[in-house]
Amino acid sequence: MDHKVVGRSIQRKDGVKKVTGNAIFGADIDLPGQLYGAVCRSPYPHAKIKAVHKKKALELPGVYVVLTGAECDKLFGQYIEDQPVIAREKVRYQGEPVALVAADNFLTAQEAASLIEVEYEPLPVIDSVEDALKNEILLHEDWSKYNIVGDCHPVKSTNIGDIFTLSKGDVNKGFMESDLIVESEFSCSMLQHTTIETHCATAYVNKSTREITVYSPAQSPFAIRSVLARSFGVPLENVRVICTEIGGAFGSKYEAKAEPLAIALAMFTNGRPVKIQFSREEEFLASVARGPVKFKIKTGVKNDGTLLAQDVTIYWDTGAYVTTGPRINYNAGFAACGPYKIPNAKVESFCVVTNKSIATAYRGFGVPEVVCAHEHQMDLIAKKLGIDPLEIRLKNILTDGDLSVTGETMQDIAVKECLEAAAKNVEWYNKPLRWISSDGKFCGKGIACFCKLTGTPSNTSVILRLNENGSLTILDASREMGQGVTTVLPQIAAEALGMDVEKISVSPVDTAFSPYDKTTTSSRSTFHGGNAVLLAAEEVKKQLLALAAKYFKVSLAQMEYVEGNIRCKNDLTKSIHINEIGKSGILREQPPIIGVGAYSTVDLFDKPDPTTHQSKRPTVMWMFGAQAAIVEVDPKEGHIQVKTIGAAHDVGYAINPLGCLQQIEGSIIMGIGHALTEEMIYKNGDLKNGNMLDYKVPTFMDSDVDIHISLVEKNHKEGPFGAKGLGEPGVAATAAAIVNAINTACETNFNAIPIKPENIIFKEEV
């Protein structure tokens, strides 16, 4: 198709305000009469709260209110309401809020928080899923006391907050028929999102009208609105979430975090707003994290490399509260066997509570982790059978018409093309698997591929408002979090309407005004928002045609809309272009042009069986891709240098190719951190490296990597112009490819990330 706006690279529409310091982030909000909140946090990972003494804190001049769980006994949560706003009877992780303070200024609030005296009775600490699964000590005594508000399946009298199972065919039969059985384990460390902006919220409460207003960088304002309304017991429409710009999210701003704390305080400040901004230390200790995870995989394979059966067991350490754990369990469970043809498969996945910070979504909802596990396993199999790692993947990869592990006959998928392109991008066929450089470094290549679903069913809505001057405002609630949605949606609208993209802007997000959008997660915004924009654009066209027909005094049937020209078919002199419509006067005094697009994938969805999770269509959009890595390892000093990443992603159709490349490039750097440096280190529930010095994220110096990216465009038949999502995929295969490359280079079998210099030097298992 010959497109004029989509498919072309344009600069980000949010760029100028961000680089010039004019974007308004959570920290920039200061409201009249505002108080500052601070949190008294538990030093213990697990303890009974025997008493909280507020007196000293209250005596500090400037302190307005000190709040404990006794005054605020609200619970909240996205899937299960298991999380207290303020801990009351016991604390379950280090850093959990035990009391809140609001004071005239930030330092006074902090000092007051430190003056609160809490008497604890320490409890044994559950530091690992192994300990937790003994079920001797239960973090949550009785799951049934909590409201389950989403798809969540806790197991009575255990520390299991959710179970996911998947089964296809007969794995035992599959193993019996196999020539080779390979078993492995893999584990991933706990990660922090380390967004530049920490969690922040500023709230005020109108007690007479029971209205709650909160400024927040929420990723999913409507989801948070719902969580907050439930928790604080007010009607949904009484909660207003005014979104500030997001200074990085990656999933961390999906759940309510600072919001309920600020609101809890604001309930007691007689209308004065309360602002809470987490310090970096609080962000590490007590915001959200990517939970650590352990995998066991058993695979049955023929000697020619054909996969026959796979059994995967997963233990997600979801931290002290379940919250979003079930969704990670679900999304990752669907992807746990990779994008392969496997006739017999079984997945059993547990979401387990421990005395750690709370796990939540982090770019991929568990998929980068499962990719590490299944791709490490593929390399083990390849090695045992003496097959090239790329070849064994190509042999088993899903192609059109194949039946997936989840029961779906696949269509329009290009993961094979991605594997080939990623390989080509590192010159796979021109290089040996392993070599030693002239200066004695161990070099190797590795490859990995993945599949990830987008949450389905799901719905969104968009309003296109044509302004009096002919410019167009897109109202939607997809949050711009670096993924480029505020550039991509205007491109789609511009293409659909034949309009200059410069004339199109996107409104801020505010639940008082914005049309409903379920969430900005799951790489869904381009697909869902784009489809909604297309529907809305059709409405705009219809309205413009009717208006122009009246203006030209012809019947509507005689009118047509061709590339922005609103014209009479039989008399092309009767024509007006959308770009000129503001100046034309045709809009003047007429009914304003407003198109609504309401989109849902509910009718494209086949609800999976709750036990086998087999479905003819469990997701409206599978995302696929592959990445290959070349690494160079210094066997003496242990330094691991990622030399090259070859990436290829099935984007369906690249609306803004530049944006796609930027997304993937950023993701790859993030993936390098996951593979090589990042981990939150807990010892008996005590976080040892909760700061940016001791927790190592890649810097520009670590980013000296040759990156070669291919955008594979196999159009998705329901995607806008064929487009699919790309927010999460870029990072899904990076760590896996690097692990495989390191193991090849070093002839090791590291089966955990991160792999650090000390692991190399001492060849120790990570």
Of 3, 9, 11, 16, the one binding a copy of itself by CB under 8 A: 16
Of 572, 602, 604, 681, the one binding a copy of itself by CB under 8 A: 602
Stretch binding a copy of itself (CB under 8 A), from 42-50, 81-89, 222-230, 484-492? 222-230
Q: Cβ of residue 205: shortest distance to a copy of itself, in angstroms?
A: 10
- Binding status of residue 543 toward a copy of itself by CB under 8 A: yes
Of 17, 55, 569, 583, the one binding a copy of itself by CB under 8 A: 17
**In this structure, what is the dihedral angle of CA atoms 10, 3, 519, 510, given to the nearest 10 degrees?**
60
- Binding status of residue 594 toward a copy of itself by CB under 8 A: yes
The whole-angstrom separation of Cα 388 and Cα 136 is: 46
For a copy of itself, the closer of residues 451 and 535 by Cβ is 535
Contact 471, 480 (CB under 8 A): no
Tell me which residue of 743, 731, 748 sits closest to 369, measured CA to CA: 731
Per-residue binding letters, 31-70, with a copy of itself (x by CB under 8 A): xx--------------------------------------
Tell me which residue of 742, 659, 672 sits closest to 706, measured CA to CA: 672
Of 60, 181, 596, 697, the one binding a copy of itself by CB under 8 A: 596
229-258 binders of a copy of itself (CB under 8 A): 229, 235-237
For a copy of itself, the closer of residues 534 and 745 by Cβ is 534
Q: How far is CA 6 from CA 57, 302, 489, 617, 658, in A?
A: 58, 45, 10, 28, 11
Q: Cβ of residue 451: shortest distance to a copy of itself, in angstroms?
A: 23
| Degrees, nearest 5: CA angle 219-224-228 | 155
Contact 646, 423 (CB under 8 A): yes
Q: Cβ of residue 506: shortest distance to a copy of itself, in angstroms?
A: 10
Q: Cβ of residue 224: shortest distance to a copy of itself, in angstroms?
A: 13
Contact 711, 657 (CB under 8 A): yes
- Binding status of residue 360 toward a copy of itself by CB under 8 A: no
Of 303, 590, 691, 699, the one binding a copy of itself by CB under 8 A: 590
Contact 281, 246 (CB under 8 A): no
Contact 138, 46 (CB under 8 A): no
Contact 75, 146 (CB under 8 A): yes
Per-residue binding letters, 496-535, with a copy of itself (x by CB under 8 A): ---------x-xx-x-xxxxx-------------------
- Binding status of residue 763 toward a copy of itself by CB under 8 A: no
For a copy of itself, the closer of residues 506 and 741 by Cβ is 506
For a copy of itself, the closer of residues 235 and 386 by Cβ is 235
Of 1, 20, 144, 553, the one binding a copy of itself by CB under 8 A: 20
Of 39, 91, 463, 655, the one binding a copy of itself by CB under 8 A: 463
The whole-angstrom separation of Cα 228 and Cα 85 is: 11
Of 469, 611, 699, 749, the one binding a copy of itself by CB under 8 A: 469
111: left (phi over 0), alpha (psi -120 to 50) or beta: alpha
Stretch binding a copy of itself (CB under 8 A), from 569-577, 586-594, 639-647, 737-745? 586-594
Give me the residue label for tokens 């973090």. Answer: 139
Which residues have a Cβ under 8 Å from the Cβ of 22 and sit 6 or more positions away? 16
What is the token pair recorded at 658? 């530049």
Q: Radius of gyration (Cα) for the chain, nearest Å?
A: 27
For a copy of itself, the closer of residues 2 and 603 by Cβ is 603
Q: How far is CA 40 from CA 57, 87, 254, 529, in A?
A: 11, 11, 24, 40
For a copy of itself, the closer of residues 17 and 50 by Cβ is 17
179-208 binders of a copy of itself (CB under 8 A): 206, 208
Total of chain residues touching a copy of itself, rule CB under 8 A:
57
- Binding status of residue 542 toward a copy of itself by CB under 8 A: no
Distance of CA 310 to the CA centre of its chain: 27
- Binding status of residue 144 toward a copy of itself by CB under 8 A: no
Q: Cβ of residue 334: shortest distance to a copy of itself, in angstroms?
A: 18
265-294 binders of a copy of itself (CB under 8 A): 271
For a copy of itself, the closer of residues 225 and 445 by Cβ is 225
| Degrees, nearest 5: CA angle 24-28-32 | 120
Q: Cβ of residue 20: shortest distance to a copy of itself, in angstroms?
A: 4
- Binding status of residue 612 toward a copy of itself by CB under 8 A: no
Of 471, 612, 689, 703, the one binding a copy of itself by CB under 8 A: 471
Which residues have a Cβ under 8 Å from the Cβ of 540 and sit 6 or more positions away? 464, 466, 472, 497, 593, 594, 595
Q: Cβ of residue 208: shortest distance to a copy of itself, in angstroms?
A: 4
How would you classify the pairing of strands 293-301 and 180-188?
antiparallel
Maximum Cα–Cα distance across the chain: 86
Of 57, 475, 501, 742, the one binding a copy of itself by CB under 8 A: 475
- Binding status of residue 263 toward a copy of itself by CB under 8 A: no
Q: Cβ of residue 586: shortest distance to a copy of itself, in angstroms?
A: 11
Cite the beta strand spans of 570-678 per DSSP E: 571-577, 594-600, 622-633, 640-650
Q: How far is CA 236 from CA 459, 512, 585, in A?
A: 18, 11, 41
- Binding status of residue 467 toward a copy of itself by CB under 8 A: yes
For a copy of itself, the closer of residues 52 and 109 by Cβ is 109
For a copy of itself, the closer of residues 115 and 593 by Cβ is 593
- Binding status of residue 610 toward a copy of itself by CB under 8 A: no
The whole-angstrom separation of Cα 703 and Cα 404 is: 36
Tell me which residue of 736, 742, 18 sits closest to 339, measured CA to CA: 736
761 SS3 class: helix
Burial class (CB in 10 A: 0-12, 13-18, 19+), 648: buried
702-761 binders of a copy of itself (CB under 8 A): none
Q: Where are the alpha helices (DSSP H) in 367-466?
A: 367-385, 389-396, 415-425
State which amino acid sits at residue 541: K
**Residues of the shown chain interacting with a copy of itself in the complex, contacts defined by CB under 8 A:** 16-17, 20-22, 28-32, 206, 208-209, 211, 222, 226, 229, 235-237, 271, 457-461, 463, 465, 467-469, 471, 473, 475, 505, 507-508, 510, 512-516, 543, 589-596, 598-602
